Structure 1
Amino acid sequence: MINYIMEDFGNCTIACRHQDCFNFLTADERNRLEKNKISINYRKGENIIKQGTSVNHILFLKSGLAKIYLEGSSKDLILKIVPPQHFIGLSSLRCKDDLYIYSSSVYIDSRVDLIDKEFFIKLIENNPKFALSVISIINEATAVSYRRVYSLTTKQMHGKVADLLICMSENIFLDEQFNVPISRKDFSELLGLSVESVVRVFKEFKDNGLVSIRGTQFKLLDIAGLKEISNYG
């Protein structure tokens, strides 16, 4: 039996990349997919999904960087950061009233494929391997959300921040050094912390030699140290 240790579950916002699911489509299905999607270039800051609007498309982020968030009456809650080669909107498929359950906007100039929802559903109905791949994507996203809930509700602020930095390095930017086009306010909404707390932890990590931070440029200097804080912070 596999023993899952909850302390190892971090505050990561991302599971596997989604591009592979298209490998299960036949040549004919791929041709029809091209006819049932449109590609749009979005500028930095533009909304690509509005919470509460009708689900007409499933989105696939070809390039760029996006966020998915819940709109509240007084503040927003960022659910995840979305790197390229990921779907946006899968969790709204077949939801009550066929409405998007969250909003999404892009952090930087991005290119997005808008796939017709009904065509996407037909692919799922007619291609079992593609359907299983989509189910796996949704299941992994659910598992990631459980881990985030665990991290956000049980860890102190240092552990939460360490989790997110590790996630960005290993799963979003795929490098120990990266440029984060994300405001400190967005960091706070991702972590459930105040902006002041995020800034304070960043300074402590920097002073302790764990990270180098220059504006939006981050470099993880001591990943082992950050992982220790993640596990016990």
Structure 2
Amino acid sequence: MIFYTMEDFGNCTIACRHKDCFNYLTEEELEKLEKYKITINYRKGETLIKQGSAVNHVVFLKSGLAKIYLEGSNKDLILKIIPPMHFIGLSSVKCKDDLYIYSSSVYVDSVVDLIDRDFFLKLIQSNSDFALSVIGILNEATAVSYRRVYSLTNKQMHGKVADLLVCMSENVFLSTDFNVPISRKDFSDLLGISVESVVRVFKEFKESGLVNISGSNFKLIDVEGLKEISNYG
């Protein structure tokens, strides 16, 4: 039996690449999929899905970078960052009211596949291997949500920031040297701390030799040190 800890899951996004689920489709199903999807280019800042709107498609991010967030009366809460080859809004596809439970927009110019919702559900009903793969995606999304709640409610400021940087490196950009098209305000919303606190911790991490930060470019120098702060900070 395999046991997982909170540290086995990132808190900023899902690690697995969702495109793998399409490997379980037959050639005939893949041919039909091409007929039931459209590909759209989105410009930086454009909205992909709107909280409370009807779910007509399954959204698949082919390239670019997106975020999903809950819209509040005074402030939005960023739930996750979505890297390429991931579904967006999958948890809303078969909800009680068939409405999106959150919004999503893109950080950079992005390419998105919109798959007809009814066709997607038929694939789940007719192909058990594909269905199990989708269930696995939803299960990991749930685990990430638990991990995020744990981080936001139990970790101190420095631990939250270290946690996010490691997650971005390992699960989003797949590199220790990456360019983040995300504002300090969005960092603040992701971490649940003030913008001033984000800037201060970045400065402290840089002075401590943990990370080199130049504008939107981040280079993690001491990944193990960041992980230690993430686990105990």
TM over 0.5: yes
Distance in 2 separating the partners of 1:154 and 1:11: 13
Structure 1 partner of 2:84: 84
Letter in 1 for 2:115: I
Letter in 2 for 1:165: L
Q: Are the aligned partners of 1:40 and 1:113 in contact in 2 as well (CA < 8 Å)?
A: yes
Describe the SS at the equivalent of 1:105.
strand
Task: For structure 1, list consecutive stretches of 5 or more residues without a partner in the other structure.
Answer: none
Structure 1 partner of 2:72: 72
Q: Are the aligned partners of 2:12 and 2:81 in contact in 1 as well (CA < 8 Å)?
A: no
- 1:90-149 per-residue CA deviation (whole Å, 9 max, x = no partner) reads 100221211000000000000000000000000000000000000000001101111111
2:213 is equivalent to residue 213 of structure 1: yes
Pairing of 1:1-233 with structure 2 (within 5 A) = 2-6=2-6, 11-233=11-233
Pair 1:7–1:135, CA change in 2 (3 A) = closer
User: What's the offset of the Cα at 1:8?
Assistant: 6.4
User: What's the offset of the Cα at 1:2?
Assistant: 4.7
Consecutive aligned runs of 4 or more in structure 1 exceeding 6 Å deviation? none
Pair 1:86–1:43, CA change in 2 (3 A) = same
Q: Are the aligned partners of 2:185 and 2:195 in contact in 1 as well (CA < 8 Å)?
A: yes
Distance in 2 separating the partners of 1:131 and 1:200: 45
User: What's the offset of the Cα at 1:159?
Assistant: 0.3
Normalising by structure 2, what TM-score? Answer: 0.97
Q: Percentage identity across aligned positions?
A: 79
User: What's the offset of the Cα at 1:15?
Assistant: 2.7
Task: For structure 2, list consecutive stretches of 5 or more residues without a partner in the other structure.
Answer: none
Normalising by structure 1, what TM-score? Answer: 0.97
Letter in 1 for 2:30: R
User: What's the offset of the Cα at 1:49?
Assistant: 0.3
Letter in 2 for 1:229: I
Q: Are the aligned partners of 1:7 and 1:232 in contact in 2 as well (CA < 8 Å)?
A: no
- 1:34-87 per-residue CA deviation (whole Å, 9 max, x = no partner) reads 000000000000001000000000000000000000000000000000000000
Q: Are the aligned partners of 1:65 and 1:84 in contact in 2 as well (CA < 8 Å)?
A: yes
- 1:9-43 per-residue CA deviation (whole Å, 9 max, x = no partner) reads 65332231101100000011000000000000000
User: What's the offset of the Cα at 1:4?
Assistant: 4.3
Q: Are the aligned partners of 1:13 and 1:148 in contact in 2 as well (CA < 8 Å)?
A: no
Distance in 2 separating the partners of 1:102 and 1:15: 20
